[in-house]
Chains A and B, each alone.
Chain A
Amino acid sequence: DAGVTQSPTHLIKTRGQQVTLRCSPISGHKSVSWYQQVLGQGPQFIFQYYEKEERGRGNFPDRFSARQFPNYSSELNVNALLLGDSALYLCASSQGLAGNNEQFFGPGTRLTVL
């Protein structure tokens, strides 16, 4: 079975630009979460979606937005990019919201903002 997939793998943007990152969850998983991981730190929660509804939001500015589609795939959008947005963006899927917290992570998108 295919795991969580993300695209693109790498991305280089300049300050002020906008970016869209994409994620496809494991088949049968209805929950998708997005995390930002700065080098040397743990992942920081950005959003969680379940059944196409936002179920959680982390401490990120309104420049960050996301959505989930009927097929449970998801997009993360970041507007007005700042240098500090350079990070690895991870998508994780899980079957639901409860349970043992097991989330399956994708390989991530490495975003570099110049």
Chain B
Amino acid sequence: GQSLEQPSEVTAVEGAIVQINCTYQTSGFYGLSWYQQHDGGAPTFLSYNALDGLEETGRFSSFLSRSDSYGYLLLQELQMKDSASYFCAVRDRAAGNKLTFGGGTRVLVKP
């Protein structure tokens, strides 16, 4: 089966940098995605990595190392509105088309 591990909670102050790590186990890795979900809201897509390396989108960046089965989401210049849960997710070729999510990392940004 597939499994993903990410920290349960991270706290930081405005303007700081936060890195959320994600390690995964899967038999037919296709790519690693990141989603943001505010309390009471729907998950929204942030990024996708299929190849090794860093993808940058504004204040957020995502990294993947396929050989280490590891990725991370980097949140820079933290703002209060970044307080949310962040999920890594993989699609596994061997598991059909389902998207498997990690348990989520709750990020709390303090003034």
Contact = CB atoms under 8 A, between A and B. Distances in A.
Interface of A: 4, 33, 35, 40-45, 48, 50, 55-58, 90, 92, 97, 100-108
A50 B30 CA distance: 19
Most buried by B among A33, A41, A43, A90: A43
A26 to B, nearest CB: 12
Interface in B87-104: 87, 89, 91, 95-104
A55 B96 contact: yes
Nearest to A33: B99
A102 B45 contact: yes
Interface residues of B, number: 23
B7 interface: no
B100 A100 contact: no
A4 B45 CA distance: 13
Interface stretch (B36-44, B63-71, B73-81): B36-44
A93 to B, nearest CB: 12
B45 A43 contact: no
18 contacts: A33-B98, A33-B99, A41-B104, A42-B89, A42-B101, A45-B100, A48-B96, A50-B97, A56-B96, A56-B97, A57-B96, A90-B43, A100-B48, A100-B50, A102-B48, A104-B45, A105-B42, A105-B43
